[in-house]
């Protein structure tokens, strides 16, 4: 269910976030909100800053990266001002993370059951015996077959899809307010991807968990999310309800991205490729970041692009947005 208005207090509220590596600004003034029970996608290609934005919320930015401006609130908690200990109390409890590569996120030396139950021990002072019982139930809730038998297995005995289910079970252990998933299905086969996505949706429906979903896959966004932020070169260039973005894209980049995506369900005679390439991370561009590749670009685009509100909740950073189709 889409965020109807700003009356509802968002679970996650990012305002004007900027992130720099030494000498390179890689995220520039990103604002983003996730409402209660909302599934919000951040879509972008390499270097768009989508993953760094997510990592900043978690306080897991790479060592060289620095937040140089902005504010991140998780239910009124100022995430950027928390001490390491305070943040650790939240991670795995109120805020959970599902990474792209479950295999490397799981500890190969610990059984899956112990890892899935660990948040309960760490945050709720449960005993390990009780945590293992909870782990069985969690693994059952993510539709792992025969969870009683599988809890003593090690990660390498799981398939890629099962590992991702175990990561999701771990994330759900304490019913977090917000689940951040960074390309959780990219490494999976399409049929397994469909199952994982169905599972995430079910979790939102049953537990009311808000989900921030980082992806490069337009298809997944269309099938699964309520609202979407399109990022390009460290900036949000268009945002709106999924239907708005797919039926009525306004930013030339969003339009071009849709036209450049091949389809399995429709015959496409000719793909319209976007000329040029994605700017290198942190490359300084005066004015609109997409102007060098944009078919609609005018000289004025070399200046700072405005933020325009098209319809309610549909924002575009472009001087010459495409018309309603």
Partner 1 sequence: MTLLEIENVSKRFDPGGFFRSPGPLAMNNVNLSVEAGQTLGIVGESGSGKSTLLRTVLRLIKPTSGRIIYKGRDLWALRGAELQAVRREVQAIFQDPASSFNPRQRIGAILRAPLDVHGIGQRNERNDRVAETLIRVGLPPEFAQRYPHQLSGGERQRVAIGRAIIMGPSLVLADEPTSALDVSVQAQILNLFRETQKSLGLTSVFVSHNLAVVRYLSDRVAVMKQGEVVESGPSETIFANPQHPYTRALLDAVPDPRRHRSRTSSTIRAGQLSA
Could you list the residues that contact partner 1 (CB under 8 A)? Answer: 45-46, 143, 145, 160, 189-191, 193-195, 197-198, 201, 216-224, 242-243, 246-247, 256-258, 260-268, 270-275, 277-278, 293
Could you give the CA distance from residue 204 to residue 202 in angstroms, rounded to a whole number? 5
Could you give the CA distance from residue 152 to residue 89 in angstroms, rounded to a whole number? 27
Paired strand residues for 77: 74
CA distances (Å), 109 to each of 23, 102, 106, in order? 39, 14, 9
User: Please, what is the end-to-end C-alpha distance for the chain in angstroms?
Assistant: 24
- Torsions phi, psi of 134, nearest 5? -65, -40
Query: From the CB of 263, what's the least distance to partner 1, in Å?
Result: 5
Could you give the CA distance from residue 46 to residue 60 in angstroms, rounded to a whole number? 19
Query: From the CB of 189, what's the least distance to partner 1, in Å?
Result: 4
Could you give the CA distance from residue 228 to residue 283 in angstroms, rounded to a whole number? 25
Closer by beta carbon to partner 1, 129 or else 269: 269
Closer by beta carbon to partner 1, 5 or else 265: 265
DSSP 99: -
Closer by beta carbon to partner 1, 18 or else 100: 100
Q: Are the beta carbons of 176 and 137 closer than 8 angstroms? A: no
Could you give the CA distance from residue 69 to residue 62 in angstroms, rounded to a whole number? 17
Query: From the CB of 218, what's the least distance to partner 1, in Å?
Result: 4
Closer by beta carbon to partner 1, 76 or else 267: 267
Closer by beta carbon to partner 1, 72 or else 179: 179
Query: From the CB of 27, what's the least distance to partner 1, in Å?
Result: 18
Q: Are the beta carbons of 199 and 143 closer than 8 angstroms? A: yes
Query: From the CB of 210, what's the least distance to partner 1, in Å?
Result: 17
- Number of residues written out for the chain: 325
Place of tokens 């670009």: 297
Closer by beta carbon to partner 1, 262 or else 299: 262
Query: From the CB of 114, what's the least distance to partner 1, in Å?
Result: 25
Closer by beta carbon to partner 1, 60 or else 258: 258
Query: From the CB of 255, what's the least distance to partner 1, in Å?
Result: 12
Query: From the CB of 267, what's the least distance to partner 1, in Å?
Result: 7
Could you give the CA distance from residue 66 to residue 44 in angstroms, rounded to a whole number? 21
Place of tokens 């200046």: 303
Closer by beta carbon to partner 1, 97 or else 253: 253
Q: Exposed e or buried b for every residue in 172-197, given b needs 16+ CB within 10 A?
A: bbbebbbbbbbbbbebbeeebbebbb
Q: Quick one: the chain helix, strand, coil %, rounded to 5? A: 35, 20, 40
């Amino acid at each position: 269910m889409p965020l109807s208005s700003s009356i509802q207090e968002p679970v996650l509220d990012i305002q004007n976030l900027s992130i720099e590596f030494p000498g390179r600004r890689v995220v520039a003034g990103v604002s983003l909100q996730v409402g209660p029970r909302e599934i919000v996608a951040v879509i972008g290609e390499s270097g768009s800053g989508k993953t760094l934005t997510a990592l900043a919320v978690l306080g897991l930015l790479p060592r060289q990266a620095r937040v140089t401006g902005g504010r991140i609130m998780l239910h009124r908690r100022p995430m950027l001002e928390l001490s390491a200990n305070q943040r650790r109390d939240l991670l795995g409890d109120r805020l959970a993370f599902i990474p792209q590569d479950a295999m490397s996120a799981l500890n190969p030396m610990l059984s899956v059951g112990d890892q899935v139950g660990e948040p309960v021990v760490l945050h709720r002072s449960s005993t390990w015996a009780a945590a293992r019982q909870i782990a069985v139930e969690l693994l059952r809730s993510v539709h792992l077959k025969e969870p009683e038998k599988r809890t003593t297995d090690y990660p390498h005995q799981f398939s890629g899809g099962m590992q991702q289910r175990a990561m999701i079970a771990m994330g759900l252990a304490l019913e977090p307010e917000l689940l951040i998933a960074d390309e959780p299905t990219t490494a999976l086969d399409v049929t397994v991807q469909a199952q994982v996505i169905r599972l995430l949706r079910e979790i939102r429906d049953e537990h009311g968990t808000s989900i921030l979903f980082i992806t490069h896959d337009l298809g997944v966004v269309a099938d699964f999310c309520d609202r979407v932020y399109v990022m390009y070169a460290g900036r949000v260039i268009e945002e709106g309800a999924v239907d708005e973005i797919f039926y009525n894209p306004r930013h030339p980049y969003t339009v071009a991205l849709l036209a450049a995506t091949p389809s399995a369900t429709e015959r496409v005679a000719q793909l319209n490729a976007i000329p040029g390439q994605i700017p290198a991370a942190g490359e300084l561009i005066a004015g609109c970041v997409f102007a060098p590749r944009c078919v609609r670009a005018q000289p004025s685009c070399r200046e700072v692009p405005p933020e325009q509100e098209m319809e309610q909740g549909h924002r575009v950073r472009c001087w010459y947005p495409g018309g309603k189709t």
